[in-house]
Amino acid sequence: MGIESALQLTHVSLLKKQAELYGDKPLYYFEDRKVEYNEFDHKTDIIAKGLEKIGVERGDRVGILLPNGNEVLESYYGIWKNGGISVSLNPMYTGKEIEYIINNAEAKYLITSDFFRSRLEAVRPNMPSLEGVIMVTPDPTPDSIPYADITSGSERIGDKGILPDHPAQIMYTSGTTGKPKGAVLPHNGVIAASSATPNLGYFGPDDSTVCALPLFHLFAVVVFASHLYAGGKGIIIHERFDAEAVLQDFGKYGTSIFFGVPTMYSFLLDSYDPLRHNVDKMRLGIVGAAPVPVHVMREIEKEFGMTIIEVFGQTESCGGGAIERLEMERKIGSCGIAIPGLELKIVDENDNELMPGELGEIVTRGPMQMKGYWNMPRANQETLRNGWLHSGDMGRMDEEGYVYIVDRLKDMIITSGFNVYPKEIEDVIYSHPAVLEATVVGAPDATKGELAKAFVVVKEGSSVTEEELNAFCRERLAAYKTPRIYEFRDSLPKSPQGKILKRVLRDEMKTES
């Protein structure tokens, strides 16, 4: 299948097709329980019918507030098969954040568990669109609908007339500025983005992977859809990322591919012991959500004997963007070229296309694009201009189309009139042998506007002083780029998918000042 074929698919038609083709082949494992292709197709048909019986209709929004597990995947496909739109909620959300998402999406039902009861009880009266709560716990509350009632029927859903460009899900962005925005993603946009790794030969029917990403996040949805598209032999779902557990499963299941964010690779590298961990079958590591530090990439390739592939994408582009190609020349620091079917260019602040090598904003256009933000017309006008999706990421493109991510536009530091990009500094700090994690943000300064401040986590059993690290940076960076402040911590704040949250650190500095 190519990009044209992928654009004719929905999540539903893809699952049906692969279930017919692969039957009792393992689709995924969770807590060592095997779920087969046809078994998953059958059960999600029943769930879709159960949702239909309680009044869920095509286009209705249904929230999912659950940790990683069978119920999340079942709920996704049950909702999609009924023609509904899934709304993913971060299990770390407070009651007020849950209230905001449910109200913004105007969700009709919420699938959740008893773990979230106390958070929901306080805000339940403030969510007028919510007609009911579906509880997956064995002992649901009297006013809720047992998940078992939705899943225990025998009648399967029929054809609901779902088309490839119909909306499948609303994925809320992290909200680095203002309230989170719900990107409305069509079925075929996500499938097309997910088809990139199989169509480029990275993922095939004999491959398996570990997914320790949170299933409420688009990266995990794309990993699962890529696996399904490829007809993979079993994706091992983890409830949460734990480096030791992931390394053990590499050997236990003979996995060949790992999808993760840069911090995951840092922790895998730090925990790896060749005497205890078997990584012989591992051949590819695919890194998304943020650029991987070059030092980490080189070290993990050396230790694990596998190739690291960088991808660039965002929620608003259904996960599509750019990807490295194994058949092309490798350029360290690049995330490759645009994926098949997508246009990508670099523009200035007036949306004029820039010449190769010039720094500007990355914009994309193509079928892997959100339909817009839900109920946010002003944000749509800002992000979707002249048919192009504005990413907010700064980058360059060379004459051969290779894309280099420099940093988030909002993360750029301006010190004494100079533009400083934190990623460049972070790459240097990561190359120090004592450093496990690092991030750089702009600290307010009355004289220079901002100063680069580095937050650093040191590897267990290692040590480095502020003076030593500063000297290390000064040897490798211009003086105006070198951090003026260093803060050592035991850990850094992260999103559930493992991405370092710079906004939390910036908020802390505001509070301290």
Residues 238-270 as b/e (b if ≥16 CB within 10 A, e otherwise) read: beebebebbbebbeebebbbbbbbbbbbbbbbb
Average pLDDT, the chain: 88
What does the alpha-carbon distance between residue 463 and residue 482 come to, in Å, rounded to a whole number? 20
Output phi, psi for 39, to 5 deg: -65, -45
pLDDT of residue 500: 81
What does the alpha-carbon distance between residue 459 and residue 457 come to, in Å, rounded to a whole number? 7
What does the alpha-carbon distance between residue 401 and residue 322 come to, in Å, rounded to a whole number? 10
Region 412-512: CATH code? 3.30.300.30
pLDDT of residue 177: 47
The secondary structure of 371-390, three-state, reads CEECCCHHHHHHHEECCEEE
pLDDT of residue 447: 67
The one-letter code for the residue type at 96 is K
- Reading the block at residue 445, the tokens are 């300064």
* In this structure, CATH architecture of domain 3-19+34-184: 3-Layer(aba) Sandwich (3.40)
- What are 230-288's pLDDT values in tens digits? 999 999 999 999 999 999 999 999 999 999 888 888 889 889 999 999 999 999 999 88
Please check whether the two domains, 3-19+34-184 and 189-408, share a CATH topology: yes
- Reading the block at residue 220, the tokens are 């995990």
Cα–Cα–Cα angle for 59, 91, 183, nearest 5°?
Answer: 40
What does the alpha-carbon distance between residue 97 and residue 448 come to, in Å, rounded to a whole number? 36
Range 84-96 average pLDDT: 90
pLDDT of residue 349: 85
- Reading the block at residue 363, the tokens are 């914009």
Pure H helices in 200-242: 218-230
pLDDT of residue 174: 62
What does the alpha-carbon distance between residue 69 and residue 79 come to, in Å, rounded to a whole number? 16
- What are 192-231's pLDDT values in tens digits? 999 888 888 888 999 999 999 989 989 999 999 999 999 9
- What are 355-404's pLDDT values in tens digits? 999 988 899 998 889 999 998 888 888 888 888 999 888 888 999 999 98
DSSP symbols for 104-158: HHT-SEEEE-GGGHHHHHHHGGG-TT--EEEE-SSS--TTSEEHHHHHS--PPP-
Q: Residue 338 pLDDT > 60, yes or no?
A: yes
Question: Domain 189-408 adopts which CATH fold?
Answer: Rossmann fold (3.40.50)
What does the alpha-carbon distance between residue 322 and residue 410 come to, in Å, rounded to a whole number? 21
Output phi, psi for 370, to 5 deg: -65, 160
pLDDT of residue 502: 81
What are the boundaries of each domain within the chain?
3-19+34-184, 189-408, 412-512
Q: Residue 139 pLDDT > 80, yes or no?
A: no
At which residue do the structure tokens 């539903």 appear? 12
Range 290-304 average pLDDT: 83
pTM of the model: 0.81
What does the alpha-carbon distance between residue 487 and residue 510 come to, in Å, rounded to a whole number? 15
CB 100 within 8 A of CB 126: no
Give the H/E segment covering residue 236.
strand 235-237
pLDDT of residue 178: 58
* 51: confidence class by pLDDT, cuts 50, 70, 90: very high
* 333: confidence class by pLDDT, cuts 50, 70, 90: confident
Question: Nearest to residue 189, comparing CAs of 44, 374, 383, 11?
Answer: 11
Question: Nearest to residue 491, comparing CAs of 431, 443, 437, 454?
Answer: 437
DSSP symbols for 419-485: EE-HHHHHHHHHTSTTEEEEEEEEEEETTTEEEEEEEEEEPTT----HHHHHHHHHTTS-TTTS-SE
| Percentage of the chain exceeding pLDDT 70 | 94
What does the alpha-carbon distance between residue 509 and residue 368 come to, in Å, rounded to a whole number? 37
pLDDT of residue 140: 65
CB 453 within 8 A of CB 441: yes
* 176: confidence class by pLDDT, cuts 50, 70, 90: very low
